[in-house]
């Protein structure tokens, strides 16, 4: 079953912050975040493993609440380059061939 993302779409002015949420009804081993520009392949942002960790680089960070099976992606002081569709991908187990199941996507538009 696919994870559910919210919001579906958001429009921000440059410099504003955004939070994108990803929820699963199943227990998760990990959450991956990807950004996809129109017509391009998804680009990896970060992985979070169960254990409630938080990660970040530059002005993009994420958290993973294992108990709630939820992850949130935080974009602070957004830049024009952040525009795109953000997908979370979830893994239910730590098997090598475990597939990533992608969420419904959140379209982020940054305007000057």
Candidate list 75, 103, 108, 110; residue touching other proteins; CB under 8 A: 103
Quick one: which H or E segment has residue 84?
strand 84-91
Candidate list 2, 8, 54, 79; residue touching other proteins; CB under 8 A: 2
Tell which residue, 58, 35, 61, has the closest CA to residue 48: 61
Closest to other proteins by CB, 13 or 40: 40
Q: Report the DSSP pairing between strands 106-111 and 9-13.
A: parallel
Residues 66-95 that bind other proteins (CB under 8 A): 87, 89, 94-95
Residues 18-57 that bind other proteins (CB under 8 A): 30, 32, 36, 40-44, 47, 49
Dihedrals phi, psi of 56, to nearest 5 degrees = -170, 155
Residue 38: Cβ within 10 Å count: 8
Binding site for other proteins (CB under 8 A): 2, 30, 32, 36, 40-44, 47, 49, 87, 89, 94-105
């Amino acid at each position: 079953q696919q994870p559910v993302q919210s919001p579906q779409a958001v429009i921000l002015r440059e410099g504003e912050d955004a939070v994108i949420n990803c929820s699963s009804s199943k227990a998760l081993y990990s959450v991956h975040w990807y950004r996809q520009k129109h017509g391009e392949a998804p680009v990896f942002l970060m992985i979070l493993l169960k254990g409630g960790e938080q990660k970040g680089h530059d002005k993009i960070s994420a958290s993973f609440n294992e108990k709630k099976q939820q992850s949130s992606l935080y974009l602070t002081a957004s830049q024009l380059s952040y525009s795109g569709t953000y997908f979370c991908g979830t893994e239910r187990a730590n098997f090598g061939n475990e597939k990533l199941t992608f969420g419904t996507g959140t379209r982020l538009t940054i305007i000057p």
